[in-house]
């Protein structure tokens, strides 16, 4: 198999509204979010790696936790606020946070600064095993 290399200049950065389904909850939270897939174009199937930029005022997701998938974020530029069950935590460039599968510590990121913030989001892929919980919103678990 030939080694595949992907340069950031070739990554398609897709705005949230172009990835969203029509039934999104709180869509105004996600305007200003753009995301590029880094692992999938290289044939990686066991985990995902996405480059995400949040404009001021944008959120990463509804607050959630994963039953079967680990999640990891690493801030590359800017400042984000991690909001989880234990409160709010400021993350700046160089900061990382991890969310082990099965731990009911619902989280999301918010950009409360006046400048864009960029981070890497890494997560395992467990299709058919995954269940995502959203404790702040009025719907049951989502199965992937």
pLDDT tens profile 85-123: 999 999 999 999 999 999 999 999 999 999 999 999 999
For residue 144, pLDDT beyond 80: no
Using 50, 70 and 90 to split pLDDT, how confident is the model at 2? confident
pLDDT tens profile 25-36: 898 899 999 999
pLDDT tens profile 35-59: 999 999 999 999 999 999 999 999 9
Using 50, 70 and 90 to split pLDDT, how confident is the model at 17? confident
Contact 141, 133 (CB under 8 A): yes
* Distance between CA atoms of residues 122 and 118, nearest Å: 13
Residue 90 in tokens: 């400021």
């Amino acid at each position: 198999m030939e080694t595949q290399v992907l340069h950031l200049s070739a990554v398609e950065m897709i705005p949230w509204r172009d990835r969203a389904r029509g039934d999104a909850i709180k869509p105004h939270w996600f305007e200003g979010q753009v995301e590029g897939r880094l692992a999938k174009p290289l044939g990686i199937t066991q985990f995902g790696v996405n480059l995400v930029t949040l404009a001021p005022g944008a959120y990463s997701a509804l607050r959630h936790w994963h039953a079967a998938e680990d999640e990891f974020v690493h801030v590359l530029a800017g400042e984000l606020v991690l909001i989880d069950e234990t409160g709010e935590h400021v993350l700046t460039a160089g900061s990382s946070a991890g969310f082990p599968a099965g731990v009911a510590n619902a989280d999301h990121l918010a950009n409360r600064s006046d400048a864009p913030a960029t981070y890497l989001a890494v997560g395992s892929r467990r299709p058919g095993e995954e269940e995502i919980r959203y404790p702040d919103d009025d719907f049951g678990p989502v199965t992937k």
